[in-house]
A and B are shown apart, each in its own frame.
Chain A
Amino acid sequence: MNKRNFNIVGKPVIRRDGCAKVTGKAKYADDFRFEGELYGVMVRTNSSHAIIKKIDYSEIADNPSVKLIIDANDIPGKKKVGPIKQDQPVFCNERIVTPGDVIAMLVGEKESELRQLAKRIRIELEELPLLENPRNALDKDAILIHPEFKTNLITHYPLRKGNIEKGFNQSDEIIEQTYTTQLVEHAYIEPECVTAIPGEGNLKIKIIGSIQNPFTTRKVVASVLDCGLNKVEIIQAELGGSFGGKDDIMNILSARAAIAALKSNRPIKIKYNREESIIESYKRHPYILNYKIGFKRDGKIKAIKIDLLADGGAYSSMSPFVTWRSVVQATGPYEIKNVHTDVRVVYTNNPYTGAMRGFGSPQPIFAIESMMDEIALRVGKTPFEIRKINGFKQGSVTASGQKLSGHEVTLNKVLKKAVDVSSFSSKWVENKKSVEKNEAPTQSYVKNSLILHKDDFINPDKLWRKGIGLALSYRGCSLGAEGIDAAASYVSIQPDGTVYLLSGLAENGQGLKTTYSIVAAEVLGISADKIIYLEQNTSRIPDSGPTVASRATLMGGGATKNACEELKKRLGKLLVNEWRLKSPNELHFANGTVTYNGKKKKISFDELIKKAYTQGVNLSAIGWYAGPKVHWEEETGHGSAYFTYVYGCQVAEVSVNIGTGEVYINNIWAVHDPGKVINILGAEGQVYGGTTQGAGYGLWEKISTHEGKIRENNFDQFLIPTSKDIDAIDPYFIEGKDKYGAWGGKSLGEPTLELTAAAIANAITNATGQRFFNLPINIEELLLRKKLYPESLKRGSIL
């Protein structure tokens, strides 16, 4: 099935949207201007938890700059929204549960004036006690964030396999450890922006914005406006980064803009500045991870008990799905007979958390991969050996009882490749030895003289220690038992042989327009240049679910291939008649030509299309790709969670300055099995970008809160990697065979991110001989084993 020669698949193809992006012509949400547009500015409080007693607009109501004030009373339909549990108000009118909460929106011509006026609204609040620590959320006397649910528990996923007590009894040694991970922001460089335009004709509202999942936005807006889905049209502007982050927040902003647009009958634009973006948008869940592992002297793991607690913040958002992926993948890619896992996610007054690239996997991977290295040290093996002993093989059974079959289980291949290309084992042993014999350099100020001599200083070069670490993972592709999993792709060949293409999955910047164009060009045997990718518009293509879960290449690639195969079949039928062939089997579509039986007969693609068009052949098709059935038993955590998996291994080599706590990343070797690589430039880009984000997560990125309020609300304090922070990144692809998607092209975006922090943490341990349990491992964590925070929330750049 995979043994075919590809003409375009796997070769560098220039991005379909690239030219517009390098010339500045690409239109992002804020680049659209509409006649008569007004701006919406949010009204927030200074509280993190309070009952709203009274909102008094009187001081600004008559101000000529304020054209409209919109609040909960203006909502015609559902007042609360949310992807799973509808617990998030579009405008708050009863309670404030987190500082990002919005009470009202001022609409007018001048954004800057509205921002000043927003401060003059008198909001009477009754402050409530704060719940900041997720560990206290389930206490009997804990204050309830959403009293209507009678608990702060959002979801609890148990998973039970084998007999945990028996497993620990059979173990020679047991290690138990707690890890924590931090709150982080997606940090897409484009802040949120959306414009709602009153609809013409039968259309109620048209929305153009920086929207990750247009169909989800449509659903939310229709529910808030209380109208049919077909009255709402969502157009995706060029998206300036998302990483899972422009979902819920954009749905709510779109709904607010839509309400105001209908009330004013004018286009309404909402544009967030960076501070607002960070304050209101959701983040990646902080986890508290408790792992207890029992193993034999030979390194074989007998039992694992896992207790994960995630901070969902004030709203549930995607929490149930995020933590579900955690329960599936918490053991790492290791076959363990006895597993006892509990994953809980709770409400607090902290910023709410939801989907972010990785989606419940970077946290447990950090914990389990740290544990694996600890086991290796205990039993005197290398990190490579311990993973080889316990890692999944073809036919292995996962924690949820799913047998890994039907696809190639390449765990060992990616592990071996990563270890080989990085010379991992010898470096690891050598670094470890030098840590064991090397003492930290010390200063000796035993002089009477105040003048220091050269020898009195620590030589800065002597402070650097080298370390190497690895991390290994498996990852379920697409949504799994989380939800409906199907996607559409529309392909329409024009009479001259040029092609329109559009999928229901939306470009997030990762390059799916290019990937789908490659798939279509490959099947039809034409150049990708002949394909124009159409505007992403919910009125033009079937709902294909969200662009999440690294599912775009797999699902949309499959749908695009199906559409093109269908068209090829119709064209083949024409040629069978025309050339009096027995079957279309030996027709070959390549390089803009269709040949039969090795060039015995030949026609150019364009000519063939002309012929087909004049004969009335249908030259358009909608391809559909639906994932096979998967299932999950909520009580036991048993089931075939995902229909297929991908595997990856990353090795990080770092230099640690034991004097300053600085960590420099010298090299990351990233070996991934994404299945068939369709778009090689895009695939490499995913690896470079994902590992860099993962490194930021491991070493620097951190959103901290004080009484629920965020301290780091712009890029001067929230530090993401720059061009100078990481040296080499080397991507390698192992193309494991699979029957799903287009020629077995599966997932890559998230696997590239989820491993890096864990690999770096292990490298730091290799360099220092010390284990760090709390992400990020920034300089203060390295030197002081605690995090330091700015003293005050006040800062220069805030409004």
Chain B
Amino acid sequence: MKISFVLNGQNTSMEIEPNIRLLDLLRDKFNLTGTKEGCSIGECGACTVIMNGKAVNSCLVLAGQCDGAEIITIEGIEKDGKLHPLQENFLKSGAVQCGFCTPGMIMSAYALLLENPNPIEEEIKDAIAGNLCRCTGYKQIIDAVEKSTKEVVR
């Protein structure tokens, strides 16, 4: 089947097999390997991307469902070669260790800030509750998101 969608700001259309997931589309067809696969059942959040302004587990979305959608991945949030404030603050806060959950974590936080530019700590925790991290204990991640709230220009 043929789908057309906006991927990281670019209009794209492609012929795809109907049974592949959004995650496969991104990783295999577009080589956007920043989006990770951790559990394949929507539990770990490593594959989180933005679809029409909302954070979704790309392992639970069929590529066919993306027809007409706007998709943003970790590769699409830098602006003019500059890191997004979330990326910058993840670095400064020590929010990255092994880094495997990081792209998904940042995308969940990105979706939160789209909807709510001034979240309180509890709202940040809620937003990333579906993203498992085994290294950091989440504290520095929450810090990084908190710091970013003031810096994100919409």
In whole angstroms, how far apart are the Cα atoms of A447 and B16 in the complex?
66
Closest B residue to A15 using CB positions: B96
Which residues of chain A come closer than 8 Å to B37, judged between CB atoms?
A: 30, 191
Most chain B beta-carbon contacts within 10 A, residue among A21, A27, A240: A21
- B4 at the binding interface (Cβ < 8 Å): no
B74 near A23 with CB under 8 A, answer yes
- B55 at the binding interface (Cβ < 8 Å): no
Most chain A beta-carbon contacts within 10 A, residue among B35, B87, B100: B100
The one of A15, A682, A722, A729 in contact with B139, judged by C-beta atoms closer than 8 angstroms, is: A729
Point out residues on A near B: beta carbons under 8 Å.
12, 14-15, 17-28, 30-31, 33, 186-191, 238-243, 273-274, 508-511, 681-682, 684-685, 687-693, 714-716, 720-724, 726, 729, 797
A723 near B125 with CB under 8 A, answer yes
Known: A723-B125, A724-B125. A188 touches B98 (CB 8 A): yes
The one of A12, A15, A26, A692 in contact with B137, judged by C-beta atoms closer than 8 angstroms, is: A692
B35 near A24 with CB under 8 A, answer yes
- B78 at the binding interface (Cβ < 8 Å): yes
In whole angstroms, how far apart are the Cα atoms of A186 and B132 in the complex?
13
Closest B residue to A24 using CB positions: B34
Closest A residue to B130 using CB positions: A722
Name 23 interchain pairs, CB-CB below 8 A, sorted by A: A22-B87, A24-B34, A24-B35, A24-B103, A31-B33, A189-B132, A190-B38, A238-B98, A243-B134, A274-B39, A510-B135, A684-B140, A685-B135, A685-B137, A687-B137, A688-B137, A715-B39, A716-B41, A721-B138, A723-B128, A726-B137, A797-B40, A797-B41
- B63 at the binding interface (Cβ < 8 Å): no
Q: Which residues of B from 131 to 150 have beta carbons under 8 Å from A?
A: 131-142
In whole angstroms, how far apart are the Cα atoms of A191 and B83 in the complex?
28
B43 near A723 with CB under 8 A, answer no
In the complex, how many angstroms separate the beta carbon of B42 from the nearest chain A beta carbon? 9
Which residues of chain B come closer than 8 Å to A239, judged between CB atoms?
A: 98
Secondary structure of the A side of the interface?
loop
Which residues of chain A come closer than 8 Å to B103, judged between CB atoms?
A: 22, 24
Which residues of chain A come closer than 8 Å to B22, judged between CB atoms?
A: none
Closest A residue to B100 using CB positions: A240
The one of A18, A31, A689, A716 in contact with B136, judged by C-beta atoms closer than 8 angstroms, is: A689
Known: A14-B91, A24-B35. A509 touches B75 (CB 8 A): no
B99 near A723 with CB under 8 A, answer no
In whole angstroms, how far apart are the Cα atoms of A165 and B34 in the complex?
62
A189 near B44 with CB under 8 A, answer yes
B137 near A21 with CB under 8 A, answer no
In whole angstroms, how far apart are the Cα atoms of A31 and B87 in the complex?
20
In the complex, how many angstroms separate the beta carbon of A278 from the nearest chain B beta carbon? 10
Which residues of chain B come closer than 8 Å to A23, judged between CB atoms?
A: 34, 74-75, 78, 83, 87
In the complex, how many angstroms separate the beta carbon of B108 from the nearest chain A beta carbon? 10
In whole angstroms, how far apart are the Cα atoms of A726 and B138 in the complex?
9
- B58 at the binding interface (Cβ < 8 Å): no
Point out residues on B near A: beta carbons under 8 Å.
31-41, 43-44, 46, 73-75, 78, 83, 86-87, 90-94, 96-103, 106, 124-126, 128-142
In whole angstroms, how far apart are the Cα atoms of A239 and B98 in the complex?
6
Which residues of chain B come closer than 8 Å to A689, judged between CB atoms?
A: 97, 134-137
B94 near A693 with CB under 8 A, answer no
A24 near B134 with CB under 8 A, answer no
B100 near A241 with CB under 8 A, answer yes
Which residues of chain B come closer than 8 Å to A688, judged between CB atoms?
A: 136-140
Which residues of chain B come closer than 8 Å to A693, judged between CB atoms?
A: 134, 137
In the complex, how many angstroms separate the beta carbon of A388 from the nearest chain B beta carbon? 29
In whole angstroms, how far apart are the Cα atoms of A212 and B92 in the complex?
26
In whole angstroms, how far apart are the Cα atoms of A187 and B39 in the complex?
10
B91 near A25 with CB under 8 A, answer no
A22 near B132 with CB under 8 A, answer no
In whole angstroms, how far apart are the Cα atoms of A242 and B97 in the complex?
11
Which residues of chain B come closer than 8 Å to A240, judged between CB atoms?
A: 36, 98-100
In the complex, how many angstroms separate the beta carbon of B55 from the nearest chain A beta carbon? 14
Which residues of chain A come closer than 8 Å to B142, judged between CB atoms?
A: 723
B92 near A24 with CB under 8 A, answer no
Closest B residue to A685 using CB positions: B94
Closest A residue to B135 using CB positions: A689
- List 20 additional A-B contacts (Cβ < 8 Å) besides A15-B96, A681-B94, A688-B137: A12-B92, A14-B91, A20-B99, A21-B102, A22-B74, A22-B99, A22-B102, A24-B34, A24-B74, A26-B99, A28-B33, A189-B133, A241-B98, A509-B99, A682-B94, A689-B136, A692-B138, A715-B39, A722-B129, A722-B130
Which residues of chain A come closer than 8 Å to B139, judged between CB atoms?
A: 688, 729
Closest B residue to A687 using CB positions: B137
Which residues of chain B come closer than 8 Å to A238, judged between CB atoms?
A: 98-99
A191 near B135 with CB under 8 A, answer no
